[in-house]
Amino acid sequence: MNTRTPLTLLAAGAVAGALALTGCAGDPAGAGAGAEGTLKVVATTTQLADFAAQVGGSGIALTGLLAPGASAHHFDPSPADLLALGAADVLIVNGAGLETFIDSAVEASGFSGTVVTASDGIDLAEAERITAEAEEEAEHDHDHADEDHADHDHADEGEEHADEHAEEVHEHDEDHAHEGDEHDHDHGGLNPHIWTSPRLAQGMVAEIAEGLSAADPAHAAGYEERADAYTARLAALDTWIGEQFSRVPDADRVLVSGHDSLRYYLHDYGIAFIGSLVPSFEDNAEPSAAQIDELVEEIREHGVKAIFVESSMSPKLARTVAAEAGIRVVDAESLYADSLGPADTAASTYLGATIENTRTILEAWGAGVDPLPAELESQ
């Protein structure tokens, strides 16, 4: 992973100053708020924090580093985050190349506890195969688009679009306009958004339960019991989603998103991924004018009904592309991929967010949605 010396030095100084002020007794980020002897747990993403809460229950003092709406692709921990991490017994990470900030954060905070890597609970070889298949399909579509447009000259048009689209992609976070140069976001051959599949999420939950049990053997039975109960709910969610999409004709099961964030969800439910506004796993990468033109053509060719924008991204580029392609944008009810929703919404939990995603997609396609099974009525 990427270790950034400037962040490490600056954050270490900030943490030292904060410790001097608090005398190491307080924790502004919330970790350590439990009773003496309570396991202090820090989780990186909102999804992992929810998994940890489901498994740990009241037996852990939990801090989540990322806030709702934030993305791990461009996250820098605050001094308060580093204080919480330094005091933690357990750190839960996604792994799979997602948290490029974590090595420097661990070094700056002085964390010396147990690291639980949730992606160790799934078959990464399978995830890599899904990623590779998707890349091969995208390359095939790209070659097809090149053949269809070989006689079209977009040089002048491309130059005009480039500045416009680049500005729109980055409007949601101007501070990260050049982040691709500062961060080495290299995921290798693996799309890190493994949690978007409820099937894969079950393996992540099992890994978290195992990690908490190893760190706190006295309460292992409780962790395992809660993990089993939650896994049953994830399995029910998987079954319900599959039933909803199985009734949608193949020709209508096509999707365009803000970035390539739903790969495993789409794979599990037989949804064709036509492309994304940002042709990357990252939500802060920059598409070229030619890529945008190709996406518009793919949208028209496949009869895509809507562009879905993730909650961590600005909808402005999507609106521009949708207007050009003659379709709608679903951004008022955004998809929750990189992050769960705010605490006061139905999408504040993994179950709730995934149900909301499913309903949002189906309703945009004009498809019906069955009532939830009893085990999912309360998320």
pLDDT, one tens digit per residue, over 264-273 is 999 999 999 9
- Whose tokens are 């292992």? That residue is 220
| CB neighbours of residue 253 within 10 Å | 17
State mean pLDDT over 122-130.
94
Q: Give the whole-angstrom CA distance, residue 197 versus residue 264.
A: 5
Phi and psi of 368, rounded to 5°?
A: -80, 160
Average pLDDT, the chain: 82
Encoded amino acid at 243, one letter: E
State mean pLDDT over 184-198.
77
State mean pLDDT over 107-113.
97
Q: Give the whole-angstrom CA distance, residue 261 versus residue 8.
A: 29
Cβ contacts of 265-270, under 8 Å, gap ≥ 24: 265/196, 265/197, 265/354, 265/357, 267/130, 267/134, 267/197, 268/197, 268/198, 268/199, 268/238, 268/241, 268/242, 269/241, 269/242, 269/245, 270/245, 270/246
pLDDT of residue 282: 66
Grade residue 150 by pLDDT with cuts at 50, 70 and 90. Answer: very low
pLDDT of residue 143: 55
Q: What confidence tens digit (pLDDT) does each residue in 58-97 have?
A: 999 999 999 998 888 889 999 999 999 999 999 999 999 9
Encoded amino acid at 173, one letter: D
State mean pLDDT over 135-150.
57
- Angle (CA) 192-124-8 rounded to 5° is 45
316 in Cβ contact with 168 (< 8 Å): yes
| Sequence-ordered list of residues with C-beta below 8 angstroms from that of 200, at least 6 positions apart, any chain | 122, 127, 194, 264
Looking at 157-171, 286-300, 320-334, which range is the least confident one? Answer: 157-171
Q: Give the whole-angstrom CA distance, residue 329 versus residue 137.
A: 24
pLDDT of residue 141: 56
pTM for the full predicted model: 0.81
Grade residue 18 by pLDDT with cuts at 50, 70 and 90. Answer: very low
> How many helices (H) does the chain have, and how many strands (E)?
13, 8
Q: Look at residue 162 and tell me whether its pLDDT is greater than 70.
A: no
104 in Cβ contact with 11 (< 8 Å): yes
Q: Give the whole-angstrom CA distance, residue 332 versus residue 118.
A: 31
Grade residue 378 by pLDDT with cuts at 50, 70 and 90. Answer: confident
The percent of the chain in helix, strand and coil, each rounded to the nearest 5, is: 55, 10, 30
Sign of CA dihedral 324, 327, 330, 335: negative
Grade residue 22 by pLDDT with cuts at 50, 70 and 90. Answer: very low
Q: Give the whole-angstrom CA distance, residue 379 versus residue 376.
A: 6
Q: Look at residue 180 and tell me whether its pLDDT is greater than 60.
A: no
Domain 5-122+196-232 has CATH 3.40.50.1980: yes
pLDDT of residue 138: 60
Q: Where in the chain is the domain with CATH 3.40.50.1980?
A: 5-122+196-232, 127-193+249-376
The two structure tokens encoding residue 264: 């495993």
| CB neighbours of residue 235 within 10 Å | 14
Grade residue 331 by pLDDT with cuts at 50, 70 and 90. Answer: confident
Phi-psi region of 271 (alpha: psi -120 to 50; beta: other; left: phi over 0): beta
Spelled out in words, what is the top-level CATH class assigned to the domain 127-193+249-376?
alpha beta
pLDDT of residue 8: 42
pLDDT of residue 31: 40
